[in-house]
Structure formats: structure tokens, C-alpha cells
Amino acid sequence: MMQTPETVRPSNKVFFGWWILAAVCALCAVVQGFTSNALTVIFKPLAADLSISRAATSGAAAITRLEGGFEALLSGWLVDKFGPKWVMFAGIFTIGVGLVLMNFIQSLWAYYAVWGVTIATGNNLALTLPIDKTITDWFVKKRGLAMGVKFAFIGVGGVIIVPIATWLTVNYGWRFACLVWAVVTFASLLLVLVFVRQKRPEHYGLLPDGARRNQRRDSADVVGTGVQYASEVQETEFSLKQAMRTRSFWLIMGATATAGMVQYAINLHVFPFLTDSGIDETAAGFMMGLMIFFTIPSRLVAGIVADRVRKGQLVYLLAASFLVTSAGILALVVLPGAGMIYLFLILFGVGTAATTPLAILMRARYFGRKAYGSIAGVSSLIGSPLGVISPIYAGWVYDTSGSYTTAFAVLAALPILSALMIYFARPPVSEDNRETVSIPT
């Protein structure tokens, strides 16, 4: 029987963190699986219905990215200060409201207000930092596995939901598809109420990963024992100010922000690209599902491997994922054709899928759990302006040239730059949490 909030106790049964993980994985699969992938499916019919260009349609994604930085800063502070539960609840409720409102929009500005602001705000508040903070708090030595499972479920959700969203859109229209998923989103709020907790496991008498306390050795301060447990994998807790004084903070932020430009632009435009290539919408939906399918093992393996390597070796894993992403896009640009489309979808899916969990794991291993939300929030705030540019740029290139080739060629170069930056993001060296490496000038 599941325990009520604030009553989690140590037992010989399954560690409660795994129940929390199962709940947030379901949220990611069902809610984020739609909000992250549906826009590319409804992109062309929405643009035609509202009589707007592809660059203008891409504007919602740009707004999402721009406001995401500010909301990540707020969300990060809230989850560090008060815990993730009610932040997550409010965000998912907002998504549901936005999906209902999509059924009524009739203009470009209404579309921006609903998808670009309302739904995006819910996503940014609920499905990013609060979930990452929850997993980071409840898992340390098994964090890579837990994070890999979470991102794998996002992939599973995409594989299942993209064909469903495509079928709904083709047969009943994009408005009805959004309305159906609003109902699903509201129903998912029960998972937050039942499973998500506000604090670290130490506050409930547990240790991360379900580790057992040695009563003769561990101190009465369970929180302190948790910090000591995390130190066994060389995890040191930094404050936000201390993290920002390190070179690694800025390099990780720069590398992930640059790679994010690529992911945001191509995720939005890949479905229109496929249909422009002569592929019908239903087949394009299943091809998108294929791309997302390959993200599942990539995310899972990336997390498992990250648990088994030293902190300093994470840079090599992340750099490799950036280069795989670049290789996929280059294959399509250099040798366009049906076969290269499949190679592009597979490599892009594998590369971008590994990038996200590895970046989260690196940030957590480098800077610890205490201020994880604030550190990730500030990183997102500073990097967000870059993400505004790429979706609009890709749409503008198509509007002016009738092809995505030039835009994809530019995007293919950016992950290489990310790989170079991340290579130099070595673990920060600290003494009593005071960093000896100064901020780059």
C-alpha cells in the first residue's frame, strides 16, 4: 500500500524513490511526450488554418525558449526553497488549461499567447527542473540509471503519442487533438498528488538510492549522512555563487545552450521537412516515431554508463553525443536521399537523446544537490536567448529559399562547437567548497 504524504519510512520493501521515479516517468511520457512532439505534427495544418508563414509559426517555439530561461530561474529557486511537488502540480494544470484554449485560437497572437506562453510556462515550471531536482535528490549512485529511465520514458511516450497525435490531427483536426490531450493532462495530476515529495529522502529517514544506514557509524544527522554518502562518488555541494565562480559552470552552460539551438530547430521543422520530401503525413508520423524510438536505448545506456565512470570522464561521453548529432545532420546535407533520411533520424535521435541526461548528470556530479535547481535555472536563463534564434532562422531559410538545406548545414556545425567547449569543462577543484578556479574573463 502506498504511503500518504510526509509519512515515508524506511522498510525492507521497494525504496520509495523508485515509486517517485515511476510516477514522474509516467508524467514525462504522457504529458511531455505530447507537448514536446505535437507541435511539429500540427505545424503545417496550424499554419494553413491561421494563414501564417513557417517563420511566424516557429515563433511560438522561440517564445517558449526565451521565456523558459526566466521561468527556469523561478522554478529552480522555488524547488530549492520549497520543494518540487506544488510547482509541478501548478505547471501541469497550466498545460491542461493551455491545451483546452488551443481549441479556440483564431489568430497568430492568440497562438503565441496559448502555445508560446501558457503551455510553455506549464512545461517550464513542471516538466524540467522540478522533475530533475526530484531525481537528483532521491538518487546519487544510481542517478544515471534513474535519469536514463526518465528520459527513456519520454522517448516511449513520443513513440506512442506521435502516431496517435498524427492520427487525431489527420482525421479530426489539430484542435481536437489538443483537446483530447488536455483531458489526459488533467488526469495525470493524480500522480503528482499521490507520489511526489517535497524534500530529500533524508527528511523521511531514508538515504538516497535506498542505501541502508549503519546505526553504529552514521550520525544522528540524517541530512549530514546523506551528504557524506554523496561524497563517496566525489560529489561536492556548491552554492549558486560558488558554482558561478567556476570555469566549468560557464563551459557546460555554453555547450548545452549551443546544442539546444540545434535540437529546438530540428525538432520543430523535421516533420514539415519529411512531408516536403514527398512523404505523406501518416508515414512521416511513424518516421518521427522511429527517430524517437532510437532515443530510448540511447538515454538509458547514457545514464547507466554515466553511473560507472569517474566524474572527470563525463566530458568524453557528452562530447561524443554532440558529435553523433552533428554526423546525423551532415549525412542528410551531404548525401540527401531516402536512405540518408533514415540515417539522419537515427543518429540525430541517438545523439540528442544522450546529451540531455548526460548534461544534467554532469551538473549534478560537479555541483551537488543543495542548489541544483538554482544552478540549472541560472544556466537556462543565460543560455535561453540562443534558443530563440534557431527555430525562426530555419523557418526563415525555408520561406526565402524553399528548402531547409542551408539551415541544416549551419545547424550541423554547432554540435562540433559544443563538443569543443565541453571537453574543457573539467571537474571543479574545491577546498571547503571554495573554488580555486576563477571565472573566465
Question: What's the CA gap between 157 and 32, in Å, rounded?
Answer: 8
**Predicted confidence band of residue 380 (pLDDT cuts 50, 70, 90):** confident
Q: On the CB side of 373, how many CA atoms lie within 13 Å of its CA?
A: 29
Residue 144 in contact with residue 318, Cβ under 8 Å? no
pLDDT at position 95, please? 94
Mean pLDDT (the chain, rounded): 83
pLDDT at position 331, please? 86
pLDDT score of 37 more than 80? no
Q: How many CB atoms are closer than 10 A to CB 280?
A: 10
Query: 63-77, 135-149, 225-239, 269-283: which has the highest mean pLDDT?
Result: 135-149
Instruction: Summarize pLDDT for 305-354 with one digit per residue, the tens.
Output: 988 888 888 999 999 999 999 999 998 888 777 778 888 889 998 999 89
**Predicted confidence band of residue 365 (pLDDT cuts 50, 70, 90):** confident
Lowest mean pLDDT: which of 88-102, 113-127, 285-299? Answer: 285-299
Strand partners, 106: none
Residue 200 in contact with residue 124, Cβ under 8 Å? no
Nearest to 237 by CA among 145, 373, 76: 373
pLDDT at position 190, please? 95
pLDDT score of 57 more than 70? yes
pLDDT at position 28, please? 87
- What would the grid cell of residue 239 be? 552554492
Question: What's the CA gap between 306 and 349, in Å, rounded?
Answer: 19
pLDDT score of 276 more than 90? no
pLDDT score of 441 more than 80? no
Lowest mean pLDDT: which of 90-104, 179-193, 402-416? Answer: 402-416
Question: What's the CA gap between 77 and 75, in Å, rounded?
Answer: 5
**Predicted confidence band of residue 11 (pLDDT cuts 50, 70, 90):** very low
Instruction: Summarize pLDDT for 242-255 with one digit per residue, the tens.
Output: 999 999 999 999 99
Q: 3-state SS string over the chain?
A: CCCCCCCCCCCCCCCHHHHHHHHHHHHHHHHHHHHCCHHHHHHHHHHHHHCCCHHHHHHHHHHHHHHHHHHHHHHHHHHHHHCCHHHHHHHHHHHHHHHHHHHHCCCHHHHHHHHHHHHHHHHHHHCCHHHHHHHHHHCCCCHHHHHHHHHHHHHHHHHHHHHHHHHHHHHHCHHHHHHHHHHHHHHCHHHHHHHCCCCCHHHHCCCHHHCCCCCCCCCCCHHHHHHHHHHCCCCCCCCHHHHHCCHHHHHHHHHHHHHHHHHHHHHHHHHHHHHHCCCCHHHHHHHHHHHHHHHHHHHHHHHHHHHCCCHHHHHHHHHHHHHHHHHHHHHHHHCCCHHHHHHHHHHHHHHHHHHHHHHHHHHHHHHCCCCHHHHHHHHHHHHHHHHHHHHHHHHHHHHHHCCCHHHHHHHHHHHHHHHHHHHCCCCCCEECCEECCCCCC
- What would the grid cell of residue 293 be? 524510438
- Domains of the chain, first to last: 16-200+233-435 (1.20.1250.20)
- Is the pTM above the cut of 0.95? no
